[in-house]
């Protein structure tokens, strides 16, 4: 049984596993709906306030906080995500997942002496009425959690806000621009903070969704990678997802019961429609069988991707224009930016269109480019704090 | 009995408030006895066999008919809340309280939170 204050990682990991196993079993017999207020399945004392989707177990508020945090801790330990002295940036959007992630990272860092230096890193895409409001939430989080905050905007990095991009290209492909630009902006923001690691709030539902999408698109190479908790290219900063096994329902419940301050509005530009379908489908599956989410992640992990398929990924090189890693001469962000600057943004989405733009001759010198990317130097000397 | 009313505090969160005039908290009164088919007509005028005590399923239909201002399909789907919306009854997961069949009491607090918005 889990006890609060139990801090020996080994004991903890064993007990969490036992817990999960015993709960899985009880899940199958919990079809009978109990109407009487149940007492907590863990402490047997307090009134249960939550039915855990992962396990079907009914638990009280304090035990919920404890198991939620402990499972994230366990995920972090099992994957050896951090080492003492690591500088870690939390990708913070002001939304529920990253707000809860910042809170839980701070809690665990204090409770288990991870000895991490934590930062908040936000990307300002320049979406009026959406990101400007959510950044206010991040600024409050900075005060509440007492962490340094770095905000990097598309405008300062690329010279284009999403508002300006959408006014040029319309709403159809704007998510492509936003996705490519955000990925690179996060890396560049992290480089200026000189961090070793970026953690993001992607949760179990997000990952299950991505598994489904990769199956539906036949993207087997990505399918093999999308369930990895930590990704690291040769030149990239480590990225990981400590909430890989955390259900969205529990993240939202955690935020609700802890009264965390988060921002929840859909992006005003067309959301990723394909992901929307995957999400609706997944939520229907979850309603019928809550373990579906973790089961799909498990399926994704169990796929063995043949080496030939993995090899279809192009070798990584460095973008000749901005120095960011790329699988082509020009990185995706530079390609998209060139399209915007030359007023042909819609034609840079596909390879065929790319050839058309190349046929127009080389990019003019006056073209706005992205500042040269310098991958962060390894931290020279870290005074390793004693790790107990 | 049918003239009794229940005072309820309704709260919307996680972006769901946007469907309800962007107002998070609504204090409402509903009849204690309601039509079995969840319509919002008075239960006085219908046979007792077609009347039930007001439950959360009725409340959802009542909210859709009276307070919801846009995109009803984002709130109710197939007679229940759309998957991805969490419901709390007096700060307890409604899955522990019988979900839609929970019979409402005076002064109950019901919270609806969308999990579908933003990360």
DSSP code string of B85-106 = EEEEETTEEGGGTTGGGPBP-T
CATH topology of domain A83-310: Rossmann fold (3.40.50)
What contacts A204, CB < 8 A, 6 or more positions away? Answer: A243, A244, A245, A246, A247, A248, A293, A294, A297
pLDDT tens figures, B52-103:
999 999 999 999 999 999 888 889 988 889 888 999 999 999 999 999 999 9
Nearest residue on chain B to A259, alpha-carbon basis: B13
pLDDT at A387: 44
- Taking residues A376-383, report their average pLDDT: 42
Residue A238, φ and ψ in degrees, nearest 5 = -55, 140
Q: How high is the mean pLDDT of chain B?
A: 90
pLDDT at B43 over 70: yes
The DSSP line for B36-56 is: TT---S-GGGS-GGGEEE-BH
A290 touching chain B per CB within 8 A = no
Distance, in Å, from the CA atom of A152 to the CA atom of A203, rounded to the nearest integer, reads 24
pLDDT at A234: 55
In chain B, what are the domain boundaries? 5-114
As given in the structure block, the two tokens for residue A235 are 């030149």
Does residue A1 or residue B9 have the better pLDDT?
B9
List the single residue in A37, A49, A252 with the smallest CB-CB distance to B113: A252
ipTM: 0.93
For residue A286, which residues of chain B lie inside 8 Å, CB to CB? 83
The runs of H, that is alpha helices, within chain A are 9-28, 61-78, 96-111, 131-145, 154-158, 162-169, 174-193, 204-217, 220-225, 248-257, 273-288, 292-302, 307-310, 332-341, 351-359
Residue A274: name the closest of A212, A227, A223 by CA. A212
Q: Tell which B residues from 38 to 57 touch A, by Cβ distance under 8 Å.
A: none
Least confident of A15-24, A145-154, A272-281, A316-325: A15-24
- Calculate how close chain A gets to B33, using CA atoms only, in Å: 21
Per-residue model confidence (pLDDT) at position B87: 97
In the prediction, which pLDDT does B12 show? 95
pLDDT given for residue A347 in this prediction: 63
Tell me the CATH number for domain B5-114. 3.10.20.30
Q: For B5-28, what is each residue's pLDDT tens digit? A: 999 999 999 989 989 999 999 999
pLDDT exceeds cutoff 90 at A158:
yes
Position A310 scores a pLDDT of 64
Q: How much is the average pLDDT of A180-185?
A: 92
Sequence ranges of the domains in chain A: 83-310, 317-359
CB contacts under 8 A, A 308-367 vs B, are none
**Overall average pLDDT of the A321-333 stretch:** 86
Higher pLDDT, A148 or A128: A148
Chain A residues closer than 8 Å to B114 by CB = 264
Give the 3-state DSSP-derived string for A221-263, with helices as H, strands as E and coil as C: HHHHHCCCCEECCCCCCEEECCCCCCCHHHHHHHHHHCCCCCC
Distance CA A93, CA A98 (A): 6
What's the pLDDT score for residue A16?
A: 44
Say if A49 is an interface residue toward chain B (CB within 8 Å).
yes
pLDDT tens figures, A341-366: 888 776 656 666 666 666 666 666 67
The pLDDT confidence band at residue A315, using thresholds 50, 70 and 90, is: confident
Whole-number average pLDDT of chain A: 82
User: Is-contact A95 A206, C-beta < 8 A?
Assistant: no
Tokens matching residue A42? 């863990």
DSSP β-ladder status, B33-35 and A325-326: unpaired
**Residue A20, burial from CB neighbour count under 10 angstroms (0-12, 13-18, 19+):** middle
From B119, which residue of chain A is nearest by alpha-carbon distance? A95
Q: How confident is the model at residue A384 (pLDDT cuts 50, 70, 90)?
A: very low
> How much of chain A, in percent, has pLDDT values that exceed 90?
48
Ramachandran angles phi, psi of A120, nearest 5°: -100, 135
Q: Report the alpha-carbon distance of residue B82 to residue B87 in Å, rounded.
A: 11
* C-alpha span between A367 and A357 (Å, rounded): 14
The yes-or-no verdict on residue A289 having pLDDT over 50 is yes
């Amino acid at each position: 049984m889990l006890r609060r204050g139990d801090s020996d990682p080994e004991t903890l990991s064993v007990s969490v596993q036992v817990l999960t196993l015993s709960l899985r079993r009880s899940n199958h017999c919990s079809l009978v709906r109990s109407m009487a207020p149940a007492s907590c399945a863990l402490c047997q004392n307090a009134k249960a306030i939550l039915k855990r989707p992962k396990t079907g177990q009914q638990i009280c508020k304090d035990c919920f906080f404890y198991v939620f945090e402990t499972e994230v801790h366990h995920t972090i330990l099992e994957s050896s995500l951090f080492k003492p002295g690591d500088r870690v940036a939390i990708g913070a959007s002001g939304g529920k997942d990253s707000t809860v992630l910042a809170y839980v990272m701070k809690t665990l860092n204090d409770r288990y002496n991870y000895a991490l230096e934590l930062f908040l890193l936000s990307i300002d895409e320049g979406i009026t009425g959406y990101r400007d409001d959510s950044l206010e939430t991040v600024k409050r989080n900075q005060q509440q959690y007492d962490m340094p905050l770095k905000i990097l905007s598309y405008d300062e990095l690329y010279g284009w806000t999403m508002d300006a991009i959408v006014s040029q290209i319309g709403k159809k492909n704007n998510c492509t621009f936003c996705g490519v630009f955000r990925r690179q902006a996060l890396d560049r923001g992290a480089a200026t903070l000189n961090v070793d690691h970026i953690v993001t709030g992607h949760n179990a539902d997000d990952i299950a969704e991505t598994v489904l999408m990769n199956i539906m698109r036949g993207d087997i190479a990505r399918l093999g990678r999308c369930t990895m908790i930590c990704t690291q290219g040769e030149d990239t900063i480590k990225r990981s997802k400590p909430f890989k096994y955390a259900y969205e329902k529990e993240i939202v419940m955690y935020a609700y019961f802890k009264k965390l301050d988060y921002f929840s509005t859909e992006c005003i530009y067309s959301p990723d429609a394909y992901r929307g379908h995957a999400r609706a489908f997944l939520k229907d599956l979850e309603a019928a069988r809550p373990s579906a989410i973790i089961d799909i992640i498990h399926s994704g992990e169990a796929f063995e991707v043949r080496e030939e398929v993995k090899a279809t990924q192009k070798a990584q090189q460095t973008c000749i224009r901005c120095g960011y890693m790329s699988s082509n001469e020009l990185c995706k962000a530079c390609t998209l930016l060139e399209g915007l600057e030359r007023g042909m943004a819609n034609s840079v989405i596909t390879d065929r269109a790319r050839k058309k733009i190349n046929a127009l001759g080389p990019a003019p010198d006056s073209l706005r480019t992205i500042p040269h990317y310098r991958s962060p130097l390894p931290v020279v000397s870290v005074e390793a704090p004693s790790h107990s | 009995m049918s003239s009794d009313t229940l005072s309820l505090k309704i709260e919307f969160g996680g972006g769901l408030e946007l469907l309800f005039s962007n107002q998070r908290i609504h204090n409402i009164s509903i009849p204690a006895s309601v039509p079995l088919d969840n319509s919002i007509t008075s239960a006085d005028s219908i046979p007792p066999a077609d009347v039930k005590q007001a439950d959360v399923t009725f409340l959802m239909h009542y909210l859709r008919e009276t307070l919801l201002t846009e995109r009803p399909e984002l709130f109710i789907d197939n007679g229940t809340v759309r998957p991805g919306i969490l419901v709390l009854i007096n700060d307890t997961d409604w899955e522990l309280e019988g979900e839609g069949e929970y019979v409402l009491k005076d002064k109950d607090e019901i919270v609806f939170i969308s999990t579908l918005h933003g990360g």
